[in-house]
Structure 1
Amino acid sequence: MIRRYAAATTDFVTTHSRIVLLLTLLLTAGMAAGTTHLSMGGEGGGIGAAVDTHVDDRAQYIEEEYGASDSGDDGVARTAVYVRSADGNALSKEHLLATLRFQRTVLEADAVDAALRERPAGSAGPRDGASSIASMVGTRAADESDPTIEEQIAALEATDATTVTTIVDETIAENERARRLLPDSYESGTATAESHQVVFGFDEAADGRPPSDATAALHDAASGRTDPTVFTVGEHALAASQGVFVENTMTLIVPVVLALILGVAAFTYRDPVDVLLGIVGVVVSILWMFGLLGWAGVAAGPAAVIGPVLVAGLSIDYGFHVFMRYREERNADESVRPAMGRGLRSVAPALALVTITAAIGFLATVATPVGMLRDLGIGITVGVVAAFGVFLTLIPALTVEVDALVEGAGFDRHRRPLGQGRYVRSTLAGAVTLARRGAPVVLVVAIVLATAGGLAWATLDQASVQQQSEPAAEWKQDLPGPMGWEENDLISRQAYVADQFRTTEEGDRMQMLIEGDVTDDGTLDAIDAGLRTAERRGAIPSQRAANVRSPLTVIRSVAERSEAFGATVAAADADGDGVPDRNLDAVYDHLYRIEPESASQVIERSDGRYESLRVVGPPEAAAGTAVPDDRATDLRAVEDRIETEQDGLTATVVSDATAQRATLETITDGILRTMVLALVAVFGVLVATFRLVHGSGTLGAVTAGPIVLVLGFVVGGMALLDVPLTFLTALLVSLLIGIGVDHNIHVGDRFAQELDRGNGPVQALHRAVIGTGGALLGSTLTTVAAFAALVLHPNPQFESFATLVILALLAALATSMLVLPSALLVWWRYGCGEWTASKDPEPAPA
């Protein structure tokens, strides 16, 4: 019944090709209209949205039991501008004057002047909403309590360089606000620093952020200033950087991608007409994808970027199978329509099954808690269905008309399938020979390698996101004309700021929650060891250690002011190292009696019981920068040190770094569960379909088996090529089932068709591998060539993306051409029993 329905449909496409073309043209116009309704936003607002982790849970617990680390909700939105000196001292007289002149310029801008939060009368702080070391030094030099910026500049100009150095030294030593404006590399006690930041405080916009027009004025004023360099890393710097990024990609990467696709397609198709028809199919498939999403009201989200790439790859594959099967079916003296009809009728069930199973693999992401993954799964599934429709209607009908027209003009349109070429045929035949002579060995080797690769999952490096830390290679920058890669300073500047500066928001601090029996004797020693580990590993820079507030710092501070409490602490310090290590209940009790407010900030007490302790660390990395991946590792080491030092304690660091790492771990764990569900579903569909169509469910199971091997090979390849597990690569791994299932279905279905025609197992396998292998090889080479061009991109995320897809495509090709033939022969010998040929088999290709 299924074959009859497929035959009726495909016969209509080839027999009434002009009607099909008219209908698909109208449908394409409707899809084009649907793209105008497309929303590019996505669900959930980000990769980590809606993902609950233990770090988020402990952050909420801290908020409920302790309150915020420091009140930062003062209605002021702060943004920083950075000043960096090429000669290593941004605190010299000349550079401080340059900083003040920059401040004067931006304060004259209407957008900045209107948005600045001025200091209330009688309060400390900058009068004009801008806080900088230059202003502090200028104020001291003017010897006035509240000089204007013009007066600061005049005073500093009139002061000699030696005196300025003395003022800088005094300002930093006496003013905590000044020290917080310096980089982590600043050496205490000196009057030199490589850089510093100027912090502007604005009235919050409706979204709680600084007004965009004000920050735009800061960015514009900073641009082009050198000696010292003045720069921002916020939204406007990012927007300018993205413009350069897109231009670089379009001028260097896209031409190479197109050239490689056309070049490899020309080699594999060996016919410019078929190349053009295939490209038309790819473009229309992507158009249909976006049109369907637009009419359905589904946001494109990440599918707007990743979707077209993956759908293009699948479209190329569909095109190769349609064209190669058509070439295989056409006799020397036969017209176009009958051959296309037989070819399409033969390949349609396999393409339908590929579409269904690929959709299952992609739609499995809907079960994840990550909105971005759900958007991507839906978007790509729609694209796959669109490609299936295009290459079973529009492209066959168009091919019939075009080939008839070309042949009517006197040109021969008979073409040999790629698999029938001398070198390709001998290579594919060798795969069959390998299966016939050593199938068990092939299977054992493949299973061992795939298992080893799968076990490498635990060894993959984890990073929230890959950052480009090095400039593009010089040869890429030296390419002629517009192809030359224009270097962008934002990447190195973001890395520098993330490494050297902390946020200016008091409420955005790293915190640590210690739970368990916090009155055990060694608890405070364990916390002290953990904090020393944090300083040693750089998780808490030594120059920021004074910003740490912990039970120990509070106990020591109160002990200095209270003689009685000092005696309690001394009595609890058995080894005399300044850290109480016994009778901690008594220490906590005494602290709560005399300083309850200070105690409650770092020690949780409920109904007389001590439940947890809190450490408040220095501010987090500056806004607008990515969190260094090794920071999460360093903070995890602090947790481990505390838990190792004292059994029964659980330490959780709450910070941007640990939150991102926990989110990544939660996503990858969810992806593993999702892949298992998808694999089970794909197995079920293939077993049921092969049972219904070919009368053998076990053949469907054998066909599905290599998908697991593909996953193992890809993970092993990631480990060998040092591709880390990031948000992006984890997302792509979740899509591998949809990519890996394709090739096996074509080989398995063709093998069953050949058995239906009465061929023996070896002959059936030979015809299946030769018949489908050319199309599989051609589509793989073309798609791999396109993705290989992305390796030219200096951004490591593009390289990882390309590497993963190439690994998946090559692994799928290898398993379908080398492993699956062996599995099919083993199945025939030991598991098939007697094959019952179909009552209505497809006729054999001529």
Structure 2
Amino acid sequence: MIRQILQRTTTFVSKHNWVTLLVMLVLTGLVVAGIPQLDFGNQVGGSADEFDNLDRVETSQYIDEHYGNDTAKQTERVIEPVYVERKNGTALSKESLLTGLRYQQEITDSEAVRTALHDDGVVGIENLVATRAAGTQNATVDEQIRAIENTSAAGVEQLVGQTIAEDPIAQRFLPTDHDSSASSTDRRIFVAIDTSVDDETLDTVDTTLYDTANKYSDSGFFVATDDAFGEMRSQFNSEMLELVVPVALLLILSILVFTYRDIVDVTVGMSGVVLSILWMLGIMGWLGVQASTITVVPVVLITGLSIDFGFHVFNRYREERGPDDGIRSPMERGIRFVSTALILVTVTASIGFLANLANPLPVIQDLGVSITLGVISALAIFVTIVPALKISIDGLLEWIGLDRRKAVLGRGSYLRPALELSVSLARRAAPVVLVVSVLIAGAGGLAWTELSQESFQQGNGDVAEWKQQLPDPVAWEPVEFRQQLLRTEEVYQPANADDAAQSTILVDGNVTADSTLEDIDRGVADIEEEGLLVTQSSGQAEQSPTTAMARIAKENETFATVLSQADTNGNGVPDQNLEAVYDAFYAADSQTAAQVIERTDGEYRTVLVTLALDAEHSDRKAVVSQLDDGAATMQGNSQRTATAAGSFGVGSAILDEIVGGIFLTMIIALLAIIVTLVAVFRYMHGSATLGAVTALPITLVVGLVVGGMYLLEIPLTLLTALLMSLVVGLGVDYNIHIGDRFADELAAGKKPLAALRVAVTGTGGALLGSTLTTVGAFGSIWLVPHPQMQSFGGIVVIALLTAFIVSLVVLPSALLLWSRHATVPETSSQVTLDPAPQD
């Protein structure tokens, strides 16, 4: 039935090429009309609610439910820091402080800034020094400027020293490790913005801060506003378009021209690639499959797969066309023969990609569906439009007298001997090849547990010197803002405790036991000893029952008495009669008490500790480990449980779940593909074991890719873990082409060794061209000075190279051993043309 459908389709396309083109052109218009309907609402991160089976996520949801409605936690103020970095000189000199005051003067001339300015205003160490010089804390900015101007440089230096020594607030504007000296290469100014104003005003404020900082950039001023990030992204995207895309296209076209040696085939093939991508995006739009910021992944993968399809279509057509053949019959035979492999690739690759539906993250599920649609689109294009277009153009060119017969890639005097080496190796040492390959891939697979895990890879803005020295226009420039941003993260604490990364620890169980609050206090102290808490910012770094009680005790004498009586050792932490203390706390200030202690139906069930962290999400694993150690101390004698939630804890749990989901996805995909190939080969070629032999080397590809990641120090992130799940879909492609061609040649009456030689030389050339093209394109990504992009390109290159090596080195040995020990299917009268060697 399937063979009949294929034969009718290929016959129609080859005989009615113009009708095919017209019908497919209309259908393309209808499909592409779905592109404007694409929904880009889904993003990479997803939602924590999608992982509500995880303890940390469940704890976070519990906190939101029982503590999240506290309006007192909400703030309408945000601090926008303005940074000053003086690589040569000091940021505390008279000149630099004057520049800071003039910067303040200029931004407050803006009506939008004045409208949005919070009561806390604009303040920096220059204001503290200038008001000392002016002799009054109420001096205006103009008066402060005049006071500094009228003070000598030595006098300003003396005032700076006094300010740092006597005013604790001064340290908030200086690096964390700054000592008491009157010099520093860095400082910052705080601009307090009232976020309750309209969005247009806030956007204008952002732009004003950014533009004014650029005006003073020679003095080391910069900001990290949305405008600054937008400019950095714009620069990155611009360089990607101007540097990487041209290089990738040049490599693709150069390799295609070299391998095809025919500009018409290159043009027709690339047309098929573009149409495949458009079809994928259009179908996504019509079906409502959400796109995301990583939709570039299916676009790139389908580009590579489409190029591969094109190589096999054109190469098999060239192989089938003899000296006396026209165009239509060879194309019909070629498409009929190769379409079996293309359909198998489509089915098995789709299974591999759709296995991502087992992943808990919707964006990965959508990505698996997107790539599957792309593979199906490529199949439809390359068995209809591409051959029809090829027949039409070749027919016109031959009509005007141009011979369109071209050499078969893989049958030339240079490439054919190289490809036949794998057949010779299989004939002489097939068992050794298999044993060695299994050992190498197994060793690579064991490296899975050794791969480092990161939520994302953050670039530092540095560009290797050799990349900067590349000739224009492919030279890269260092991203100064990225370097500045990383420096601020290294040398400063968050400007405001409320703006810092927040971590919550929920203590559940017997929270009225006498040791509860002291255990919690010791746990917070352990975390603080690790240097995780902010110490220089405004606001409290810790909000817990202890800190909240101490604050209320200062305002309520009755509660202060209860608190004192419950503290037997005088350390300020109640250690007896906690239920009575909680009752008094709720009586004194129920709103504050509810922020840190849960009381339901008169029963005290949980307490909450909220910590403002001086930590980066790139260090998430280490931070969560330290938080867990503190939480373990809070549990005390195990009457209670303490769970670290917040963005760090939840993010770590989700990443672990995603990585585990990717592993499960690969297992499901491998099993499904093996079962599918076994069934299809049994139906199409009469041998289930041949299908198993063709499929099993995919496991080697997975192991080799993991080993390559380990050797190249590519970590498991959301993106790389996703790509790992797609390796299965990529790895099966090359094996199917070799295995299916081998089965066809056996059916045509050839002996196993001869059949293997034809399969390797006939198909191997197309595989080589496809590999070179896609590896060249992805290899160009290594030009991008960003580790995340380099990891992306690296994994795909490793997957393609290992899949190619396995299909041409390992699979021939496995097929030859199979032919020696299995029952070879009966031959048919089918005869396949084996043209003489050509260049």
Q: Is the structural similarity TM-score above 0.5?
A: yes
SS in 1 for 2:384: helix
Report the CA distance between 1:333 and its aligned residue: 1.9
1:308 aligns with 2:299: yes
Partner of 1:835: 825
Partner of 1:4: 4
Scaled by the length of structure 2, what TM-score is found? Answer: 0.88
Report the CA distance between 1:784 and its aligned residue: 0.7
RMSD of equivalent CA atoms? 3.6
Take 1:766 and 1:826, find their aligned partners in 2: how far apart are those partners? 14
Alignment of 1:350-369 (within 5 A): 350-369=341-360
Is the CA contact 1:78–1:210 (under 8 Å) kept in the aligned structure 2? no
1:578-606 superposed Cα distances (whole Å, 9 cap, x missing partner): 799xxx86274575476566877666677
Partner of 2:104: 103
Report the CA distance between 1:455 and its aligned residue: 2.2
Take 1:739 and 1:732, find their aligned partners in 2: how far apart are those partners? 10
Take 2:473 and 2:637, find their aligned partners in 1: how far apart are those partners? 62
Is the CA contact 1:336–1:404 (under 8 Å) kept in the aligned structure 2? yes
Is the CA contact 1:79–1:200 (under 8 Å) kept in the aligned structure 2? yes
Partner of 1:506: 498
Partner of 2:611: 617
Take 2:47 and 2:481, find their aligned partners in 1: how far apart are those partners? 24
Is the CA contact 1:66–1:601 (under 8 Å) kept in the aligned structure 2? yes
Q: Which amino acid aligns with 2:734?
A: H
Structure 1 window deviating more from structure 2 (708-717 vs 413-422): it is 413-422
Report the CA distance between 1:507 and its aligned residue: 6.5
Structure 1 window deviating more from structure 2 (330-339 vs 218-227): it is 218-227
Alignment of 1:256-295 (within 5 A): 256-295=247-286
1:243-280 superposed Cα distances (whole Å, 9 cap, x missing partner): 21122222322222122222222332233332232222
Is the CA contact 2:10–2:335 (under 8 Å) kept in the aligned structure 1? yes
Take 1:495 and 1:533, find their aligned partners in 2: how far apart are those partners? 27
Alignment of 1:444-463 (within 5 A): 444-463=435-454
Is the CA contact 2:357–2:365 (under 8 Å) kept in the aligned structure 1? yes
Report the CA distance between 1:325 and its aligned residue: 0.8
Is the CA contact 2:172–2:495 (under 8 Å) kept in the aligned structure 1? no
Partner of 2:576: 586
Report the CA distance between 1:5 and its aligned residue: 1.3
SS in 1 for 2:684: helix
Partner of 1:15: 15
1:726 aligns with 2:720: no
Partner of 1:781: 772
Partner of 1:382: 373
Take 2:225 and 2:686, find their aligned partners in 1: how far apart are those partners? 62
CA 1:48–1:489 in 2, change beyond 3 Å: closer, same or farther?
A: farther
Take 2:286 and 2:67, find their aligned partners in 1: how far apart are those partners? 49
1:197 aligns with 2:189: yes
SS in 1 for 2:498: coil
Alignment of 1:648-727 (within 5 A): 648=638, 651-727=642-718
Report the CA distance between 1:335 and its aligned residue: 1.3
Is the CA contact 1:44–1:370 (under 8 Å) kept in the aligned structure 2? no
Partner of 2:533: 540
Report the CA distance between 1:743 and its aligned residue: 0.9
Report the CA distance between 1:660 and its aligned residue: 2.9
Report the CA distance between 1:64 and its aligned residue: 4.5
Take 2:198 and 2:531, find their aligned partners in 1: how far apart are those partners? 37
Partner of 1:636: 625
SS in 1 for 2:503: strand
CA 1:72–1:140 in 2, change beyond 3 Å: closer, same or farther?
A: farther
CA 1:66–1:280 in 2, change beyond 3 Å: closer, same or farther?
A: closer
Take 2:197 and 2:353, find their aligned partners in 1: how far apart are those partners? 40
1:99-124 superposed Cα distances (whole Å, 9 cap, x missing partner): 2211221122233233334x3xxxxx
Q: Which amino acid aligns with 1:493?
A: Q
CA 1:290–1:837 in 2, change beyond 3 Å: closer, same or farther?
A: same
SS in 2 for 1:511: strand
Structure 1 window deviating more from structure 2 (507-516 vs 377-386): it is 507-516
Take 2:47 and 2:170, find their aligned partners in 1: how far apart are those partners? 35
Alignment of 1:430-445 (within 5 A): 430-445=421-436
SS in 2 for 1:540: coil
Report the CA distance between 1:518 and its aligned residue: 6.5
Q: Which 5+ residue runs of structure 2 have no aligned equivalent?
A: none
Q: Which amino acid aligns with 1:95?
A: S
Partner of 2:242: 251
Is the CA contact 1:746–1:772 (under 8 Å) kept in the aligned structure 2? yes
Report the CA distance between 1:615 and its aligned residue: 3.8
Alignment of 1:450-529 (within 5 A): 450-499=441-490, 500-504=492-496, 506=498, 508=500, 509-515=502-508
The count of residues paired between Structure 1 and Structure 2 equals 820
Take 1:262 and 1:355, find their aligned partners in 2: how far apart are those partners? 25
Partner of 1:575: none
Is the CA contact 1:559–1:566 (under 8 Å) kept in the aligned structure 2? no
Partner of 1:149: 141
SS in 1 for 2:782: helix
CA 1:400–1:524 in 2, change beyond 3 Å: closer, same or farther?
A: same
Take 1:190 and 1:525, find their aligned partners in 2: how far apart are those partners? 40
CA 1:635–1:191 in 2, change beyond 3 Å: closer, same or farther?
A: farther
Report the CA distance between 1:60 and its aligned residue: 3.4
Take 2:470 and 2:415, find their aligned partners in 1: how far apart are those partners? 36
1:826 aligns with 2:817: yes
Report the CA distance between 1:719 and its aligned residue: 0.7
Report the CA distance between 1:315 and its aligned residue: 0.8
Q: Which 5+ residue runs of structure 1 have no aligned equivalent?
A: 120-124, 573-577, 622-626
Q: Which amino acid aligns with 1:226?
A: S
Partner of 1:338: 329
Q: Which amino acid aligns with 1:4?
A: Q
Structure 1 window deviating more from structure 2 (719-728 vs 442-451): it is 442-451
SS in 2 for 1:200: strand
